[in-house]
Structure 1
């Protein structure tokens, strides 16, 4: 009887070993496949991260250019202030000369009395006196001629200074617009690269979870194989049966636990992803208006999103956020997401967009009556006219935030 029991134990051990061995071999293949997949994903992830680093470096370089431009703008603004002071001085000088010319055209002052040129000459006592008086009149006329020439030259200078002022303002706006367009492209590339890196990381996590599962199964199979080998040696039927049953139960429990853990991780990731999307409410115009006007005078800063300095889209994003609505980061993205409205239908609180470089590169908040407020490269946060000599030429249209 004892031999039969031992024989049965050996047969059972052999049959279970026959089952466990293919499972272990299959699991080993799965582990190798996941290792290969992880290697491929790691290589792709490294390449994507390198590309992301390159884009980030380009953005840093662009930021450096923007800072240099900001310094140039500061110097230009000082020069413009000096030019405005010069214009004021020239205007005052011209006004004084006009008064002097008018006064001298009416009279000439001699001996404390005012007489006209003819009377002055006619009062000559003799020929010699007349000649002397003619010389006086000639000198006065010559002096008047010099004043007239100076006035004409100053007027010409004044006109040139005014044109230079306008040209500098337009040049600043165009430079800032080009930087805004370049920033938009680089930020879009960065978002795309970040998405690729995140996707690869998620895929790696899934493959790693599969690998961990296969490793757990293999470990259980190896453990089971060791237990069976021991059972064959001892031929302890009852002990072998209990060990086998216990091991099988543990394998099922651990496999189920691993599956549940993987499922829970995926469900958590899904919940976290869903929780990041928020619904935008209707913005209050009174809040938008008061916030926007309270920021007047804050300087322009490329890439700026705080009260230390704003770029155009950073300003609109900041103002709308205070009213409880989130905008996309760049001018072009805000244009794409807004509902387009005609100029006649535009209302205060709508966004107004401009194209100075071939794409949407500037945005502001419409105030009505052809006015908008925004962070301008030449003047910081300020109110501008859409129909003035500059902005009217580059108007694209209006967008309403839903």
Structure 2
């Protein structure tokens, strides 16, 4: 059987050999995607869907961007793979491009295969640099799905890396669904920071290596941090000698209308700079798996004469590196990050707020750039989430109307590629308007 022989039905039959993530396997009937371009995907019947999920919020540059596809093809013809111990021009260029958009004081990039192992290695760096063990992170967060493999390893590499321990969680700020009975975003930040500091005191500050937070929690609901939160985190970390790791896996590379969310003046008016930044997804829109950790000289220098006990066979894979260089170059030259900022401020944000005026089920609209969420409720007064059965109906209705959504719990995340146009936003809003109760 050749690829051309596979009908949609056969594709689903073949998919039964695939063990899917985050799913009960028995009743699965996934959507068959045949192709994609720009902001659209299509099935074998040619039915087109406007991709307002960006798949897993990662196709920031859109599907099959010709410059990125060409870069991968050209690299494959020259050097399709190489061990990470060797130096290659394309890996150096990719690191240079990432550092250029990250800005000061960052000086080195450790490349990984994706966001999960970017966070894994950022935690490893923090623990090795500080000599401490505990890592604090928020309950409303997602940082990836790794952690046990190295603890199960049987040779010397396990010994400095047995880190499936020492994790402590805290409640971060979420003004719409506050755990702190706050009456304003500013008060929410103040109370969340107070609770976090009390937790640190109780856990023992000298035992804490790092504070790991998503700059904008994404899967948890596109929770835009309230004023004072990031500055407060920086002050707490500085006071206790804790490293601040910002997870920009989902929020980076144009998603919030800036290269990184921590560079967004609306989110970070105080200009807080983290100690480590993790990234993946939008760095090359997932065309080839890639991620990494960005670090400043003070951390990188810790390993000038000391072995860093970590590594990946495909760290800095040439095809991934070529796609990163092409992606960042195209985003710069085509004004794609600027487009995301404009769309969010002038088109998508206002349109979603207008949509909320017409649909009582929308309890809150929050976001910026091309990173938004509709928090759907049964009742605006109680903020009770819309029940799962209704969310299933809404998701099916959106797909049936020609839009591929990102639906999580009681939310519809509105996360199109950064290249989305005004007309495509209008088309999507019309679909949301028709399907939402």
Asked which structure has the greater CA Rg, the reply is 1
Structure with the larger strand share: 2
With normalisation by structure 1, the TM-score equals 0.18
Structure with more of its chain in helix, by fraction: 1
Q: TM-score, normalised by structure 2?
A: 0.17
